[in-house]
Amino acid sequence: MKEKLDAILKNGLSEIENADNLKALDDVRVKFLGKQGELTAILRNMKEIPAEERKDVGMLANVVRNKIEEALSKKLAVLEEQQLEVEMEKERVDITMPSKGIKKGSLHPLTRFNNKFMDICVEMGFTVIQGPEIDTDYYNFEALNVPKNHPARDMQDSLYITDNIVLRTQTSNMQVHAMETIKPPFKIVCPGRVYRNDDDSSHSPIFNQFEALVVDENVGLKDLMKMIDTILKRLFGEDVKMRVRPSYFPFTEPSIEIDATCQMCGGKGCSLCKGSGFSEVFGAGVVNPKVLEMSGIDSKKYSGFAFGPGIDRSVMVLNKIPNIKYLFRNDMRFLKQMR
Amino acid sequence: MKVSYNWLKDFVDIDIPVEELAEKLSTSGFEVEEYSFQNEHLHDVYVGKITKIEKHPEADRLQICQVDVGDKKVQIITSATNVFEGAVVPVSLEGADLVNGVKIKPTNFRGVKSDGMFCSGEELGIDENYIEGGGVNGILILPNDMKIGAKIEDALMLNDVVLDINVTPNRPDCNSIIGIAREICAIYDKPFKDVDYSYKTVGGNINDHISVEVKTEKCPRYMASYVKDLKLTRSPLWLRSRLFAVGIKPINTIVDITNYVLIEQGQPMHAFDYKHLAGSKIIVRDAKKDEKIAVLNGNTYTLNSDDMVIADSVKPVVIAGVIGGVNSCVEKDTTETIFECAVFDLKSVRLTSRKIGVMTDSSLRYSKGVYLSTPIKAIQRALNLVSTLNCGKIVDGIIDTCKQKEVPERKIEASMSKIDKILGVTIDRKRVLQILNSLGIKSILNGDKLSCTLPYYREDVENENDLAEELIRIYGYDVYNNVEGGAFEHSSVTVGAFEPRLVMENKMKNELVDNGFYETLNYSLYSPSAIEKLMINDERKNVIKLANPISEDLSTVRTVMAHALLLDIHYNLSVGNKGLRFFETGRVYQPKSLPLTELPVENNRLSIAVCEDGYDFFMLKNVIENLLISFPLEYKLERSKEPYLHSGVSADIIASDGKKVGWFGKVHKKVLKNYDISEDVYYAELDTDYLSKLPEKTYATKEISKFPIVERDIAVVADEKVTNGELISAIKSACGKHFFECELFDVYRSESLGENNKSLAYKIRLVSDDKTLTADEINAIIKKVLKSLEFRFGAKLRA
């Protein structure tokens, strides 16, 4: 009997070894361990074995069964692994094939800039407000210290609807609306469209501006400079340099123009900045007390400062857009580059 | 304004490189847009004298000239025919780089050497107005008395530097040489030296020759003087040179003098031919209705009572402050002149000049403002030039219609500490006084009180803010580079906030971008034809028209968004772009009445347009549903009434309050044709003002059943008229409390179903809150559903 068991073990292990697929391996299992299997037969017929041998034969039969089972499971793992490899090989894809589903579009670069700028302003305590694009002469001009027929009206060619109603030439009209309705101290910023009677290769009749206004008890030119410095660094990076030139706006006094390192050339000088390394970003100034008074703010108690960029140029520079007209042309070849 | 560097030197001693001067002017408020050197193309050109002319042996048309250029003799070959022995001419030698791009090198003309070239006036950048012979088609023959061998730029006084300065509207006084010179004095702390205003008269009395009457409020001062025995010649070269530098054409002594005073003093002047002033009278008056006048630019203008004229006793002779008439101007045969030196109302000159579209050096200055005091010295300066040039005899007396001979000096008081507060930096008090005094603002500081006496030409300085600006622009803004302190040193704490609509729009925009849409940006002005193209027939026909549009295409304010996106689609298709998914936010402007008497309603919109293969109504519907799901908005869809949409493939979105908050659908075929678009376009628009006013969406979730969902599919055959919406709502009500979901998963049409029939297949999902539904219970529900569909719509279970 012992020889018989040895033979079963030897044959079993060898057949397991030779099984080269899961079916063959299962056949081996059935042949030795199945209901009609060779080893099963021996175990089932134990009682026919003489009592004195039974214990040894029993132990040996169990050892043989364990060894075969162990070999089976080892071989099974190997064969399963091989099978998986084969299946996975069949599923292999060309990873350069196009992705499926909807391809993302893009926000307009102006919106992107707007959002960035507004985020900065809101973090600095500004409230974003919007207002009318079609406004009365009073809000667009007179309340900003530009009476009818004032020479300062030559600075902006307006588009009129009637003698008294105008497409706003500047978001500064919102200064007046804000001062009339919000109690100081306040900080507001007003993004929006403005309109000018001006259409050539470097001007578009409709463009985008911001107007920021701070009214408080003790603010002045220095606070304006420091705030703009902070904003410029957030917008263009810590290395940005700022340059100030005196200027004139009827509603601010003193008035200044603020230039920042030209973002097109990084300050080296290019055709856009006419070699100066700087490009104009903000008009700014301390609010003229006459303007405060006209809107009912006590100029003895309060002072203010305002700044406003025309943002189309900054958007151009930041995105290296070669032609300002691209901003309104809505050509997919341009928009796709903004993704 | 163009400013001559040499001219400035009459008023301030400067010897500053122009680069530095330009920078300093710019950083103190007078932006120098550019500067140019008159002699840039005149180097290596000299005054020469032709000593001998011979024929070229090999070429008939060429002449060989021996030329004396001072320290050396040169040989020049020329084809010019107006040269002669003894002629003094400009000679360009090796190295010259003429204004027309010609660079001079010694050359050989058929074996004969030429050291350079003779120049014409044009090649030197000048013309007949500048110098006699300057315009001839040949060589410029110079006056005999020019120094042989002199540099041509010196000989012709073309050695100036011209600065182009942008003068801001608050400083009309600086539209003059004298004004800019005063600024330079302040910047460099140099004394201002004035020119000579004295003149000699020949006796007599002006009142015997002319009288002036002002019949309008709009002329606060009119000064006149009388000069006889005129010598109307070319002005001397130095005067022509200055006018030429600043871009004014020299004409004759008298006209040149008026222009010289205009540029130097900033005071427009006019010179009349005395013999044409009928009645020896000058009347300043409002124009009569439809009064006509022919002026120096060759045109005739019709005026009305808003305009102002200078007239004699019978006719208008000048459009006041704008342009002179041809009937009385100084001409070659003029022997006596009246100089006019006046102040006109800025608004009147502005309006007239704009209305007739004539901008002159004179009208530009009057439109910006001329001071009441300016004419006093200006007319003296003109007479001084008459004396200097010896071009006429000045009759005693100057007529002045202004009662106020001396404008009293204006005084203001300011608080020094307030100025400090405005600036945020403290400027040393000595420096404060020095800056103000150098600007002509006589100032005394007593404690905090700053007392200032202002010159007549500084009407712009009124308060502490103005004084602060004067101080800091001269002191220099560089001071802020190094001051301590942060952005919030003086301002109160304020809590920032976004505009709610912008926040909402941004969310929607990002959602659309994720869905493959591109944001566009279009003008909110359009052509009135947009209304016809879109077949608009409601109140949106009433568009606001601009009074002064740039062009027809930008002449009305939009009441409809769709136009712009359809143009974008047309444009993109025309350049070969495909798969167009666009969106845009913007406003429409609906007038309450026309013509506009009050402000229109501005309404914010989100508009969407798609032109893409395989796109359909239901894909767009999905985009809209997904956008709207974030709002607490109950809405239903109705067939759209938008005239530019396909009536059968479009829907209006109606909120529960009855308000139409948007619409979407296929664009009408006729409209597409109007836009020359040959592919289907789907369009949607939402009222973002309405959406932004909705409260934030809140959530109250219901308990979820512990028991599993069961599913049954049914397919029913119904008439084409029966809608999916009707069937689903019937299914829902038949299922009762066990209804969970119902989804349409197939629509099928075939002849076998019968004419006008369709088959709709639904997946019905049921659930109970308290048990697992049994097969019997499910079957009973489905039976009820089928019965209901048959009863209500005649829809039968598909065999």
CATH number for B589: 3.30.930.10
DSSP secondary structure code for residue A106 in this structure: B
pLDDT higher than 90, residue B738: yes
Domain count within chain B: 6
Show the tokens assigned to B549: 């549009």
Residue B110, in any domain of the structure = yes
pLDDT digits (tens, 9 = 90+) for B514-550: 999 999 999 999 999 999 999 999 999 999 999 999 9
Q: What is the pLDDT of residue B486?
A: 80
ipTM score: 0.87
Measure CB to CB from residue B516 to each of A102, A123, A125 and give the nearest one: A102
How far apart are the C-alpha atoms of B119 and B45, rounded to whole Å? 9
Q: Is there a single domain that holds both residue A58 and residue A201?
A: no
Residue of B nearest to A147 (CA): B347
B542 touches chain A (CB under 8 A): no
Q: Is there a single domain that holds both residue A217 and residue A284?
A: yes
Show the tokens assigned to A168: 């706003």
pLDDT higher than 90, residue A220: yes
Residue A290, in any domain of the structure = yes
Residue B240, in any domain of the structure = yes
Q: What is the pLDDT of residue A311?
A: 84
Q: Is there a single domain that holds both residue B98 and residue B33?
A: no
Binning pLDDT at 50, 70 and 90, where does residue A230 land? very high
Q: Is there a single domain that holds both residue B227 and residue B310?
A: yes
CATH number for B791: 3.30.70.380
The mean per-residue pLDDT over the stretch A36-59 comes to: 83
Binning pLDDT at 50, 70 and 90, where does residue B791 land? very high
CATH number for A176: 3.30.930.10
Per DSSP, the three-state class of B166 is strand
Domain extent at residue B337: 206-400
Domain boundary among A58, A91, A124: A91
Q: Is there a single domain that holds both residue A214 and residue A333?
A: yes
Binning pLDDT at 50, 70 and 90, where does residue A58 land? confident
Strand ranges across the sheet with B525-526: B525-526, B556-557, B544-545
Q: Is there a single domain that holds both residue B592 and residue B717?
A: no
Q: Is there a single domain that holds both residue A166 and residue A264?
A: yes
Q: Is there a single domain that holds both residue B131 and residue B246?
A: no
pLDDT digits (tens, 9 = 90+) for B55-92: 998 888 999 999 999 989 999 999 999 999 999 999 99
Binning pLDDT at 50, 70 and 90, where does residue B638 land? very high
Residue A124, in any domain of the structure = yes
Contacts of B422 in chain A (CB under 8 A): 220-221, 254, 286, 303
Q: Is there a single domain that holds both residue B509 and residue B654?
A: yes
Residue A303, in any domain of the structure = yes
Residue of A nearest to B497 (CA): A127
Q: Is there a single domain that holds both residue B125 and residue B239?
A: no
How far apart are the C-alpha atoms of A221 and B503, rounded to whole Å? 32
How far apart are the C-alpha atoms of A9 and A77, rounded to whole Å? 20
Query: Which secondary structure element, helix H or strand E, spans residue B473, and what is its range?
Result: helix B464-475
Residue B482, in any domain of the structure = no
The mean per-residue pLDDT over the stretch B87-110 comes to: 93
Show the tokens assigned to B182: 């005063």
CA distance B77 to chain A (A): 43
Binning pLDDT at 50, 70 and 90, where does residue B378 land? very high
b or e along B341-378 (b: 16 or more beta carbons within 10 Å of the residue's beta carbon)? bbbbbbbbbbbbbeebebebbbbbbbbbbbbebbbbbb
Residue A102, in any domain of the structure = no
Q: Is there a single domain that holds both residue A31 and residue A145?
A: no
Contacts of B174 in chain A (CB under 8 A): none
Domain count within chain A: 2
pLDDT higher than 80, residue B406: no
Query: CA angle, corner A222, sides to A218 and A228, nearest 5?
Result: 110
- Going by their DSSP bridges, the two strands B518-519 and B580-590 should be labelled as parallel
Domain extent at residue A38: 2-91
Q: What is the pLDDT of residue A49?
A: 82
pLDDT higher than 90, residue A151: no
Domain boundary among A30, A58, A91: A91
pLDDT higher than 90, residue A202: no
Residue A98, in any domain of the structure = no
Q: Is there a single domain that holds both residue B361 and residue B344?
A: yes
pLDDT higher than 80, residue A310: no
The mean per-residue pLDDT over the stretch A72-79 comes to: 92
In percent, the amount of chain B with pLDDT more than 90 equals 92
How far apart are the C-alpha atoms of B552 and B414, rounded to whole Å? 52
Q: Is there a single domain that holds both residue B663 and residue B780?
A: no
Residue B451, in any domain of the structure = yes
Residue A156, in any domain of the structure = yes
Show the tokens assigned to A90: 């069949």
Show the tokens assigned to B185: 């004095």
Best of A145, A232, A300, A335 to mutate (most B CBs within 10 Å, chain B): A335
Contacts of B546 in chain A (CB under 8 A): 159-161, 167
Best of A332, A334, A336, A339 to mutate (most B CBs within 10 Å, chain B): A332
Q: What is the 3-state secondary structure (H, E, C) of B522-569?
A: CCCEECCHHHHHCCCCCHHHCCEECCCCCCHHHCEECCCCHHHHHHHH
Residue B494, in any domain of the structure = no
Length of chain A: 339
Residue A52, in any domain of the structure = yes
B786 touches chain A (CB under 8 A): no
How far apart are the C-alpha atoms of B613 and B681, rounded to whole Å? 10
b or e along A311-321 (b: 16 or more beta carbons within 10 Å of the residue's beta carbon)? bbbbbbbbbeb
Residue in B518, B577, B604 with CA at minimum distance from that of residue A107? B518
Q: Is there a single domain that holds both residue A191 and residue A226?
A: yes
Average pLDDT, chain B: 94
Which single residue is written with the structure tokens 């910023």? Answer: A189
Reading phi first (left if > 0) and then psi (alpha if -120 to 50, else beta), residue A277 is in left
Residue A115, in any domain of the structure = yes
Per DSSP, the three-state class of A94 is coil
Q: Is there a single domain that holds both residue B348 and residue B386?
A: yes
Distance of alpha carbon B450 from the chain centroid = 39
Q: Is there a single domain that holds both residue B144 and residue B179?
A: no
Q: What is the pLDDT of residue A37?
A: 85
How far apart are the C-alpha atoms of A60 and A49, rounded to whole Å? 13
Residue of A nearest to B578 (CA): A332
The mean per-residue pLDDT over the stretch A314-327 comes to: 86
Measure CB to CB from residue B557 to each of A134, A216, A254 and give the nearest one: A134
Q: What is the pLDDT of residue B487?
A: 81
Measure CB to CB from residue A132 to each of B521, B524, B602 and give the nearest one: B602
pLDDT digits (tens, 9 = 90+) for B166-199: 999 999 999 999 999 999 999 999 999 999 999 9
Q: Is there a single domain that holds both residue B165 and residue B142?
A: no
Give Dmax over CA atoms of chain A in angstroms.
131
Q: Is there a single domain that holds both residue A211 and residue A254?
A: yes
How far apart are the C-alpha atoms of B187 and B8, rounded to whole Å? 14
B26 touches chain A (CB under 8 A): yes
Strand ranges across the sheet with A165-167: A134-136, A165-167, A159-160
The residues, any chain, with a CB within 8 Å of residue B122's CB and separated by 6 or more, are: B100, B134, B135
B550 touches chain A (CB under 8 A): yes
Domain boundary among A62, A91, A120: A91
Q: Is there a single domain that holds both residue B371 and residue B240?
A: yes
